[in-house]
Structure 1
Amino acid sequence: MTSSQSARQENGVHYFKKGWTLISLPGIRRFVILPLAVNVVLMGGAFWWLFSKLGEWIPAMMSKIPAWLSWLDYLVWPIVVLSVLLVFSYFFSTIANWIAAPFSGLLAEQLEARLTGKPLPDSGIWDIMKDLPRIMKREWQKLAYYLPRAVLLFALYFIPVFGQTVAPVLWFFFSAWMVVIQYCDYPFDNHKVSFADMRRSLGSNKIDNLQFGSLVSLFTMIPVLNLVILPVAVCGATAMWCDRYRAVYVKNNIDVNTTRT
């Protein structure tokens, strides 16, 4: 699947920055409110609890390092902290995404209509709610894709020094890729593009998509900014869908996947 020449000129950084602009568009702001509220309540509470516990967890984790490697504390300590933040932020952002999925799908739908001038058949929150079983099935598909890979990465943390050094790097890029899948899935799923087809399409622009996912992952770990990142990521991913992938699956405003069924 090939992208248009103009879309190729824009990288993941562009779409991340564009997401911040799109959330403030007149007519779109009201669709930002619900996913934003979910993220503020859940991520705000979760990070407040995390920072109250870090003082206990980090010393406990550092105590697992063999005594003869204690001279590496200055190097391992920030890696351990980063690892906790990565795992924690992804875990709670996933929960927030599950709760906000119907509203994020609606935001992606309305923004796509604004960007293309071609509204989707579903046109409101009640239409989205009728699709809730399909939306939740899609969330389970993402979880099934995520879990076995996350378990393998988590196992690396039990390898002293080497695993604890390599695992955070691998976890960061894996989290970035999962962020791309998570947020790009809303516009793809609105057009009922299969999960496998979506992953293949995203893989065709993997470097650009990882730029987008990496920035979202970083902002998910930053207090205050992480409270608004969910709708920003949905908007950026929807803009990416419109520029890069929509033409592949939508012909003359008719869903390719719908016409096959």
Structure 2
Amino acid sequence: MTVPTPRRASAVREFFSGVGFLFRGFRIWVTAPRLMLLGMIPAAIVGLAAIAVLVALIVNIEVIATSITPFAREWSELAQAAAHLAAGVALIVASILVIVNTYTTVTLMVGDSFYRLIAAHVDAVHGAPPEQQSQGFWRDLRRGIAEGLRVLLPTVGLAVLVFALGFIPVAGGVIAASAGALLGGWLLVVELSNIPFESRGLHLTARRRTLRGSRARALGLGAATYVVFLIPLGAVVAMPAAVAGATLLTRSVLGEDARLSTLATTTDKAKEPPHER
């Protein structure tokens, strides 16, 4: 008799499973509204600075776009306008990628204690993993800053790539925006999952390796969060939900929920009377 092998979920299904973690994160607003409101405070403070930078960029985009396209000065008026438009769109899309990921890193650092409470609440509801011993405040802070910088540095290179994609004729803006959501979303989920992974004694290298093993699922959460962050005030409301969603994703990719389910089933069977087994 042939034993059927379980089918692996398709990449598309895994992607939307990751998107679902963000919506499950929003459901924490129902079970712990005060905790989620606390998570909005640092998001709102850092968000004001991020909005100011973005508005300043948009207001001056025409001047900046003209200055970075000196090669178009001898072109016809129509060609110059097209080059300036492409440069402006590409620059805004690339800048959004940098701003969103910088905003996330800074917000998590400013509101670290609040977001740890949210992650702990999610773990408490679903079955908390063994608690890891802290290495000390200053050591944890130094490592957190170093890991945050290691996540942010690739953002610059990706922003340059997205900027270049914006110059592709006709579809450049759409291609650049799509690439920004996927590439920025990946960096976003690596940063958002910092707290739940760290609480399990797993740091950046292990975090990246584990998330790469479930890339489509991780990208689903990251891309969905990235898009929501682009909505006016969306980042402020969604930040606590994104941390909750990242905690759920962490549990999923580490197989914790499956292990707890197996343990519960085994325990229940052990409690059954012998004649009922």
Q: TM-score, normalised by structure 1?
A: 0.75
Q: Distance in 2 between matches of 1:159 and 1:107?
A: 38
Q: Does 1:205 pair with 2:217?
A: no
1:135-154 residue CA offsets vs partner (Å, 9 max, x unmatched) = 5413422422431x234334
Contact 2:39 2:240 in 1 (8 A): yes
Q: How many residues align?
A: 240
Q: Structure 1 residues 224 and 241 mapped into 2: Cα distance closer, same or farther (>3 Å)?
A: same
The correspondence of residues 143-222 of structure 1 with structure 2, limited to 5 A, is: 143-147=149-153, 149-156=154-161, 157=163, 161=167, 170-222=179-231
Q: 1:110 to 1:167 in 2, by over 3 A?
A: same
> How far is the alpha carbon of 1:172 from its aligned partner?
3.6
Query: Structure 2: how far apart are the matches of 1:89 and 1:35?
Result: 17
Residue 99 of structure 1: aligned partner: 110
Does the 8 Å CA contact 1:102/1:132 hold for their aligned counterparts? no
Relative to structure 1, the CA distance from residue 209 to residue 128 in structure 2 (aligned partners, 3 Å threshold; closer, same or farther) is same
Deviations along 1:93-141, one digit per CA (max 9) or x if unpaired, are 321121112321221012111122x47548xxxx989556325413422
Contact 1:176 1:210 in 2 (8 A): yes
In structure 2, relative to structure 1, the CA distance for the partners of 1:55 and 1:242 (3 Å cut) is: same
* 1:17-32 correspondence runs (5 A): 17-25=23-31, 28-32=32-36
After alignment, is 188-197 or 60-69 more displaced?
A: 60-69
Quote the offset at 1:241 in angstroms: 2.1
Q: 1:109 aligns with which of 117, 120, 124?
A: 120
Q: Tell me the alpha carbon deviations over residues 6-56 of structure 1, each in whole angstroms, 9 at most, x when there is no partner.
A: x9696111111111112331xx33332333100012203431453255212
Contact 1:42/1:96 (<8 A) preserved: yes
Identity of aligned residues (%): 17
Of 80, 85, 97, which residue of structure 2 is paired with 1:70?
A: 80
Could you tell me which amino acid in structure 2 is paired with residue 62 of structure 1? A
Counterpart check, 1:61 vs 2:100: no
Tell me the C-alpha RMSD between the 2 structures.
3.6
- Please say which structure displays the higher CA radius of gyration: 2
Relative to structure 1, the CA distance from residue 159 to residue 60 in structure 2 (aligned partners, 3 Å threshold; closer, same or farther) is farther
Query: Aligned match of 1:44 in 48, 56, 66?
Result: 48
Q: Shift of the alpha carbon at 1:170?
A: 4.3
What one-letter code is carried by the residue in structure 1 that aligns with 2:93? L
Identify the match of residue 15 of structure 1 among 21, 24, 28.
21
